[in-house]
């Protein structure tokens, strides 16, 4: 491995692992009544707490690196949000204490908001991190798939990725795999050195606990399985159904929230991930794709936009040079691009 990125990968893994710990703690407090009332405050607490923890870790380890993240503390600091702010601080304190924070360390709302706002970068530079503290907020609230996604971008290329999926089942198939599937995964990748998954149960540097990821080798489109978003507002599901029909795919789509879909392709659970534009003027946010894109590519997959262009991370917070995203196992990629083009999807631009 390129020694230059060994520390970056270690820091990224630790950061998303701590954030996942906070997210699980918040999720454990969600009551059936809150779900019934569609109360979004738990995901708000987890979102801000996750970003605070990760941005603090990055600021300590790499103080010169900007962070382009999804959240800022403006809403959290409003007086009417004092109860939510207090819950964020409580959960951040709890995780920092478990992680061996400094004795007597003062963690108050001002400090937590400062850590959140360390993620306020917005302009492209030669080296920066991008973070989605909770990708898949509705999945989080439903107790289904969500992710904590962190990636390092250098000279416009994603070079390090860490993706924590607290509700993802993992089967390592090693002597460390205690009785089959375990809940909670860390997916990780360094450019040029493959993608791996390990169980998110504790800090562990034992490489034998990690399993290398490989995409499927399926070459016949009709036998493929498509992965797409649960929410129709995130991807044009009717267009995806048309692509599937054009390719002769009859298997129902695998629907899940978050960048766990990239992981599904990376581990061969799905062969194609479609995120097709829902409107002509929409551009994807970089934090929704950076980590997952590298993991899928390092597992042997191909990631482009709907026109077959590589994703460009040179333009700040959005993928302004791209439209939509297509991820495949590789052998199927050109067939999917041809189907999208032949159906006229995205032709309105």
**d(C-alpha 183, C-alpha 171), whole Å:** 9
Q: Answer yes or no: is 111 within a domain.
A: yes
pLDDT range class, residue 204, cuts 50, 70, 90: very low
Mark whether 184 and 293 lie in a shared domain.
Answer: no
Range of the domain at 37: 3-212
Q: Provide DSSP, 203-266.
A: ----GGG-EE--------GGG--EEE-SSTTTS-HHHHHHHHHHHT--SPPEE-SSTHHHHHHH
- Angle 82-98/109-117 helices, nearest 10 degrees? 80
Mark whether 21 and 87 lie in a shared domain.
Answer: yes
Mark whether 195 and 338 lie in a shared domain.
Answer: no
pLDDT range class, residue 208, cuts 50, 70, 90: very low
Mark whether 49 and 187 lie in a shared domain.
Answer: yes
Hey, what's the torsion of the CAs at 70, 163, 93, 167, to 10 degrees? 110
Q: Answer yes or no: is 348 within a domain.
A: no
**d(C-alpha 290, C-alpha 191), whole Å:** 12
The question of whether 47 is a catalytic residue gets the answer yes
Mark whether 51 and 89 lie in a shared domain.
Answer: yes
Residue 207 has pLDDT above 50, yes or no: no
Q: Where is pLDDT greater, at 2 or 45?
A: 45
Q: Which range among 101-105, 156-160, 201-205 shows the weakest confidence by mean pLDDT?
A: 201-205
Confidence (pLDDT) at 105: 65
Q: Provide DSSP, 6-50.
A: HHHHHHHHHHHHHHHHHHHHHHHT--HHHHHTT--HHHHHHHHHH
**d(C-alpha 349, C-alpha 277), whole Å:** 11
Mark whether 8 and 134 lie in a shared domain.
Answer: yes
Single out the catalytic residue among 57, 137, 304, 328: 137
- Domain tally, the chain: 2
Confidence (pLDDT) at 74: 95
Q: Answer yes or no: is 44 within a domain.
A: yes
Q: Tell me, what CATH number does 280's domain have?
A: 3.40.190.80
Confidence (pLDDT) at 176: 45
Q: Which of 212, 234, 261 is the last residue of a domain?
A: 212
* Average pLDDT for 81-110: 83
**d(C-alpha 234, C-alpha 245), whole Å:** 20
CB atoms within 10 A of CB 183: 14
Q: Answer yes or no: is 60 within a domain.
A: yes
* CB-neighbour burial class of residue 61 (10 A; exposed 0-12, middle 13-18, buried 19+): middle
The closest of 320, 337, 173, 188 to 263, measured between CA atoms, is 188
**d(C-alpha 309, C-alpha 148), whole Å:** 26
Three-state secondary structure call for residue 142: helix
pLDDT digits (tens, 9 = 90+) for 29-79: 987 766 656 778 899 999 999 999 999 999 999 999 999 999 999 999 999
Q: Answer yes or no: is 349 within a domain.
A: no
Mark whether 98 and 189 lie in a shared domain.
Answer: yes
**d(C-alpha 21, C-alpha 290), whole Å:** 22
Mark whether 268 and 122 lie in a shared domain.
Answer: no
Residue 205 has pLDDT above 60, yes or no: no
**d(C-alpha 292, C-alpha 74), whole Å:** 28
Contact between 283 and 319 (Cβ < 8 Å)? yes
Q: Answer yes or no: is 347 within a domain.
A: no
Mean of the per-residue pLDDT values of the chain: 90
* Average pLDDT for 68-96: 94
Mark whether 53 and 172 lie in a shared domain.
Answer: yes
Mark whether 51 and 110 lie in a shared domain.
Answer: yes
The question of whether 174 is a catalytic residue gets the answer no
Single out the catalytic residue among 47, 135, 239, 257: 47
Confidence (pLDDT) at 206: 44
Contact between 306 and 277 (Cβ < 8 Å)? yes
pLDDT digits (tens, 9 = 90+) for 160-198: 999 999 999 887 654 444 455 678 999 999 999 999 999
pLDDT digits (tens, 9 = 90+) for 223-262: 999 999 887 666 788 999 999 999 999 999 999 999 999 9
Q: Where is pLDDT greater, at 165 or 281?
A: 165
pTM, to two decimals: 0.92
Q: Which range among 61-75, 200-214, 221-235, 321-335 shows the weakest confidence by mean pLDDT?
A: 200-214
Mark whether 207 and 241 lie in a shared domain.
Answer: no
Mark whether 177 and 225 lie in a shared domain.
Answer: no
∠ CA 74-77-78, nearest 5°, is 95
* Average pLDDT for 326-331: 98
């Amino acid at each position: 491995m390129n020694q230059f990125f060994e520390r970056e990968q270690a820091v990224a893994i630790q950061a998303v692992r701590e954030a996942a710990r906070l997210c699980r703690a918040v999720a454990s407090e969600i009551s059936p009544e809150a779900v019934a009332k569609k109360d979004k405050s738990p995901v708000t607490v987890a979102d801000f707490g996750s970003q605070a923890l990760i941005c603090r870790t990055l600021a300590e380890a790499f103080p010169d690196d900007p962070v382009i993240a999804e959240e800022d503390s403006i809403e959290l600091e409003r007086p009417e949000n004092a109860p939510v702010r207090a819950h964020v601080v409580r959960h951040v304190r709890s995780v920092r204490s478990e992680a061996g924070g400094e004795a007597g360390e003062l963690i108050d709302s001002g400090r937590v908001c400062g850590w959140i706002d360390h993620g306020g970068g917005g302009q492209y530079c030669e080296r920066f991190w991008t973070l989605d503290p909770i990708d898949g907020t509705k999945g989080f609230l439903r107790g289904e798939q969500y992710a904590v996604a962190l990636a390092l971008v250098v000279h416009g290329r994603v070079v390090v990725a860490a993706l924590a999926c607290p509700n993802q089942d993992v089967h390592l198939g090693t002597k460390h795999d205690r009785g089959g599937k375990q809940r909670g995964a860390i997916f990780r990748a360094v450019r040029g050195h493959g993608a791996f998954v390990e169980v998110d149960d504790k800090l562990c540097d034992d490489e034998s606990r990690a399993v290398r990821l490989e995409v499927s080798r399926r070459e016949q489109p009709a036998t493929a399985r498509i992965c797409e978003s649960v929410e129709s507002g995130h991807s044009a599901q009717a267009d995806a159904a048309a692509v599937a029909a054009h390719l002769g795919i009859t298997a129902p789509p695998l629907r899940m929230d978050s960048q766990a879909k990239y992981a599904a392709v990376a581990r061969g659970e799905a062969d194609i991930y479609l995120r097709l534009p829902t409107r002509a003027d929409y551009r994807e946010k970089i934090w929704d794709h950076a980590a997952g894109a590298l993991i899928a590519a390092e597992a042997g997959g191909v990631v482009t936009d709907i026109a077959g262009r590589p994703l460009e991370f040179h333009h700040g917070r959005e993928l302004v040079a791209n439209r939509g995203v297509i991820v495949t196992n590789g052998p199927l990629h050109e067939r999917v691009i041809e189907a999208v083009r032949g159906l006229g999807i995205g032709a309105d631009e």
